[in-house]
Chains A and B, each alone.
Chain A
Amino acid sequence: DAGVIQSPRHEVTEMGQEVTLRCKPISGHNSLFWYRQTMMRGLELLIYFNNNVPIDDSGMPEDRFSAKMPNASFSTLKIQPSEPRDSAVYFCASSLKVGHTGELFFGEGSRLTVL
């Protein structure tokens, strides 16, 4: 069975450009999470969805960040406009259980570099 699939794996863009990161969770999983990882701050939860509904977006840094989950098999994280401080590895994870109590299955991440 395929794991969590993220695209692109690497993205290099210039400040001010729009960035869209994509995620396909494991089929049948009920929760989806977006995390950002940096050396300074570690893994930070940005937003999570239960059954496609956004539950907590308090970790989204600014209005420049938005996330959607139009159906159970697809989610996007958009940054518009991007800034150099957004450079990080962005992970999508899914879980069979609703909420945070179950095992999280992570994708391989999308490494974003904003010049």
Chain B
Amino acid sequence: TQLLEQSPQFLSIQEGENLTVYCNSSSVFSSLQWYRQEPGEGPVLLVTVVTGGEVKKLKRLTFQFGDARKDSSLHITAAQPGDTGLYLCAGVQGGSEKLVFGKGTKLTVNP
């Protein structure tokens, strides 16, 4: 059983469209990170959220941490081909201090 479920698993959209990807769990996390991974490279951190209900913006990317700290979402506005990649969420469970990763959402933005 995957501790962090990400959906959708795959997403293919046209340039300019908006999209939201989700990271859900039945467990509470003390913090949650989002990474982007491009083919042939390692994941790169985009953001860390730590407070329930927190919203962080990174240019066209908006990250939200659920009030109960069990879920998170990533919204991309006006997607561009450069946004193509595997988006991974990773959470630290309260008490375990262990970072676990979801399987990711593979996003393709077509020009």
Contact = CB atoms under 8 A, between A and B. Distances in A.
Contact of B42 (A56, A101, A106): A106
Interface string A26-43: 000000000100000111
A45 interface: yes
Chain B interface: which size bin? 20 to 34
Contact of B40 (A41, A100, A103, A108): A108
B88 A43 contact: yes
Given A43-B88, A100-B92, A101-B92, A108 B41 contact: yes
B44 A106 contact: yes
Contact of B99 (A91, A104, A107, A109): A104
B75 interface: no
Given A56-B98, A99-B97, A103-B48, A42 B103 contact: yes
B9 to A, nearest CB: 10
